[in-house]
A = this chain, B = another copy of it.
Amino acid sequence: MPNAIQVLYESTTSPNSRRVRFFIAEKGIHIDRNPVDLSAKEQFSEAYTAVNPRSQVPTLALADGTVITEVLAIWRYLEEVYPSAPLLGTNSKTQALVTMWERRAELDGFAPVMEGVRNVIAGLKGRALSGPHAYEQIPELVESSRQRVANFFADFNARLATVPFVAGDEFSAADITTLVTVDFSANALKMSIPEKHSAFRQWYGRVSSRPGVGA
């Protein structure tokens, strides 16, 4: 098997790594992990940049030397190789809807939480975006990010008042990104789903017992 999976490079403190660990746990599969210590800046080490020159986690390394980065790309690989249980939809329509709602969770929720965090933390001065290039922090983004997260909570509450799961009737990768976003926001921005958004809070209770939550 030239395309066999060798190892997943990831970090317990990285929310993007959590999206992949969650996905793997929902599949009920085992993949070897190689921890990357972000607090020790191990992602910039010679050993790790030889694997991923962008110094980001997670990274999935295949036995044939192929390196797959980006959560969506790693998910796609795993979904094709381990189709059960499906997390990216099962027909043309549900695949499209999972893609759409997962993206909304990411662009409207996950991305602003990340932006709010990276533009405020002293230790990330000059590193406002992850990746190989240096960018200065822009303090104005902190407030706009918080506004975006508040709107995300309201919009997803409206959505979850009409369907049991983010993309519709079935649990999917859209729920994974949403749950990781909610926890990341509570932890890093101290912003939790407001009390008044009861449908969103009920959804959170519903998905909290999923096998992948603790992964």
**When chains A and B are docked, how far (Å) is the Cα of A207 from the Cα of B93?**
30
B138 with A144: CB separation less than 8 A: yes
CB-CB under 8 A from A85, the residues of chain B are none
Say whether A198 faces chain B, with CB atoms less than 8 Å apart: no
For A97, what are the chain B residues with a Cβ–Cβ distance below 8 Å?
66, 68, 73
Please classify the interface of chain A as helix (H, G, I), strand (E, B), loop, or mixed, using the class held by over half of its residues. Answer: helix
**A3 — which chain B residues lie within 8 A by C-beta?**
92-93
A103 to B62, CA, bound (A): 20
A14 interface hit (Cβ, 8 Å): no
**Per-position binary interface string of chain A over residues 117-161, scored 1 when its CB falls under 8 Å from any chain B CB and 0 otherwise:** 000000000001101110110101100100110010001000000
Interface set of A (CB-CB < 8 Å, partner B)? 3, 62, 66, 68-70, 72-74, 76-77, 80-81, 91-93, 95-97, 99-100, 103-104, 108, 128-129, 131-133, 135-136, 138, 140-141, 144, 147-148, 151, 155
- Residues of B within 8 Å of A74, CB to CB, are 96
**What are 10 sample pairs from A and B whose C-beta atoms fall under 8 A apart?**
A3-B93, A66-B93, A68-B96, A70-B99, A70-B100, A72-B100, A108-B131, A135-B147, A138-B138, A138-B140
How far, in Å, is A172 (CB) from chain B's closest CB?
Answer: 13
- Across the interface, A77 reaches (CB within 8 A) one of B80, B93, B103, B155, namely B93
* Distance, CA A93 to CA B155, complexed state (A): 35
| A152 to chain B: closest residue by CB | B133
Give min CB distance, A11 to chain B, whole Å: 19
Cα(A103)–Cα(B69), bound, Å = 10
Q: Which residues of B contact A100 (CB under 8 A)?
A: 68-70, 72-73
The distance in angstroms between the C-alpha atoms of A93 and B128, with both chains bound, is 31
Known: A73-B99, A135-B147, A138-B140. 11 other contacts (CB 8 A): A3-B92, A66-B97, A68-B100, A70-B104, A72-B99, A73-B97, A76-B99, A77-B95, A81-B92, A133-B147, A140-B140
A145 to nearest B CB, angstroms? 10
Docked pose: A103 CA to B107 CA in angstroms: 13
For A72, list chain B residues within 8 Å (CB).
99-100, 103
